[in-house]
Chain A
Amino acid sequence: NAGVTQTPKFRVLKTGQSMTLLCAQDMNHEYMYWYRQDPGMGLRLIHYSVGEGTTAKGEVPDGYNVSRLKKQNFLLGLESAAPSQTSVYFCASHFAGANVLTFGAGSRLTVL
């Protein structure tokens, strides 16, 4: 099925551990985004990419790194997880020139 797939769906980390969230889309979208959603707050943009090999910082990039080595994949990395990074992470994508985003189902991360 076409869409945006996020892995893993759930993860529990200890402070200081590292991990990578994978976002994969099979719609040939140029633009891809990583957001975090916290209770009582809207989604906040972490990083985004407008094409293969490009990335840019969003509103809350500190503590995260990203890579877009292949057009269909956008990876979000936490090098040294902190409890403040406990959140639900969403990936989204769309075609260049089109503004309707397709979202993944989310990845729930807990940092103890």
Chain B
Amino acid sequence: KQEVTQIPAALSVPEGENLVLNCSFTDSAIYNLQWFRQDPGKGLTSLLLIQSSQREQTSGRLNASLDKSSGRSTLYIAASQPGDSATYLCAVLSGSARQLTFGSGTQLTVLP
């Protein structure tokens, strides 16, 4: 059974700092990995999707990397802003049923 872990559960940084969020998964046989953002009381918004054959994806100040063999992904946020404050979740698509397994998220607070 696929398990996805995100550490730390919460992170607080000053504005302008570069930061890295971590995601690990137990079964490396994945189709893809996605990073989502969730604002309080809202649904999830997809940020980046990395196919299993890719090593990284970039969108603006966000860069996500994937090391499938070691079961790890990182989300790099450059020059963080208070508007980046949210919970970030990673999810992997795997298994014969092609189901998404979510991590429990990292709650990020960027202090002005």
**Chain A positions near chain B (C-beta within 8 angstroms):** 4, 35, 40-45, 48, 56, 58-59, 90, 92, 99-106
Interface secondary structure of B, over-half rule: strand
12 intermolecular pairs with C-beta atoms under 8 Å apart: A42-B4, A42-B104, A43-B91, A43-B100, A45-B99, A56-B97, A58-B99, A99-B93, A101-B44, A102-B46, A103-B44, A104-B43
Which B-chain residue is minimally distant from A39 (CB atoms)? B104
Cα of A59 to Cα of B94 in the assembled complex, Å: 13
Shortest beta-carbon distance from A109 to chain B in Å: 14
- Give the top 4 A-B pairs by smallest Cβ distance, nearest first: A42-B102, A103-B43, A43-B102, A103-B44
- How many residues of B are counted as interface, with CB atoms below 8 angstroms from the partner's CB atoms? 23
B residues at A contact (CB < 8 Å): 4, 9, 31-32, 34, 41-46, 49, 89, 91, 93, 97, 99-105
Q: A42-B4, A105-B43 are in contact. Are A99 and B103 (CB under 8 A)?
A: no
